[in-house]
Amino acid sequence: MTAPKKKGRFVIRFELGLLGMFSLTLVTGCIFFWMFIIGIWAGQTILQPTPGEQGSSLAKLAESLRPGKSSTIESGASPEQKHDMGVEPGAPPESASNSETEWAEAEPSFFALQVAAVRDQERAQEDVAQWRGRGYEAFSVPPEDKDDPFIRIYVGKFDKLAEANQLIAKLEKEEKIKAYIALLPASRLQNP
């Protein structure tokens, strides 16, 4: 009697020796290393300011993170050390860096909730009046540039993000609207 034939299953089998495992590990490591290098390069490229963006906070952040910034001169350095660094003995001590000075002098900002964006100034004023009538601190902000046609309507003015999150929960529950948190510089605030 002959044994019944088994139906053959299609099987693919890979076998790697020690050299094959080492090569696979090396290739995988090189791929991840180059992905890391390209990621750093892309991140630095994104942080570079565009020609019209020289004064933005993103440009200031990029400047402060740029490697190779000049070293700071400590105010407690001796006159001999300052002379060795190329500083005149009577010169006032330098600040940490220009970018840190700019951050220290940066204008104050606050969190607000964007509840609408409209094209018409009259409609924006009506919306602000409606929100104020409901008991909320509301204001509008004009468009930032000529390509942006929208006047944004904001509710609230908070120093802490947690406070803004509390108002979002309240608006979603009571007013049934979706609001978005925005960080606004104080100079963008438009008085009614």
Residue extents of the structural domains in the chain: 19-47, 109-188
Residue with tokens 């904001």: 154
Q: What is the distance between the terminal CA atoms of the chain, rounded to a whole angstrom?
A: 101
For residue 41, what pLDDT band results from cuts at 50, 70 and 90? confident
**Torsion sign, CA atoms 177, 180, 183, 188:** negative
Q: What is the DSSP letter of 135?
A: T
- Looking at residue 23, what is its pLDDT? 94
Secondary element (H or E) of residue 116: strand 109-118
For the cut 50, the answer to whether the pLDDT of residue 95 exceeds it is no
Query: CB–CB of 60/99 below 8 Å?
Result: yes
Q: What is the mean pLDDT of residues 99-119?
A: 74
Buried b (16+ CB within 10 A) or exposed e, 49-86: eeeeeeeeeebbebbeeeeeeeeebeeeeeeeebeeee
- Looking at residue 107, what is its pLDDT? 72
Q: What is the mean pLDDT of residues 62-88?
A: 51
Residue 11 vs residues 8, 14, 130: alpha-carbon distances, Å: 9, 10, 71
For the cut 90, the answer to whether the pLDDT of residue 108 exceeds it is no
Instruction: Determine if the pTM surpasses 0.85.
Output: no
For the cut 50, the answer to whether the pLDDT of residue 73 exceeds it is no
* pLDDT tens digit sequence for 130-179: 999 988 899 988 888 888 888 899 998 888 888 888 888 888 888 888 88
Q: Which fold has domain 109-188?
A: Alpha-Beta Plaits (3.30.70)
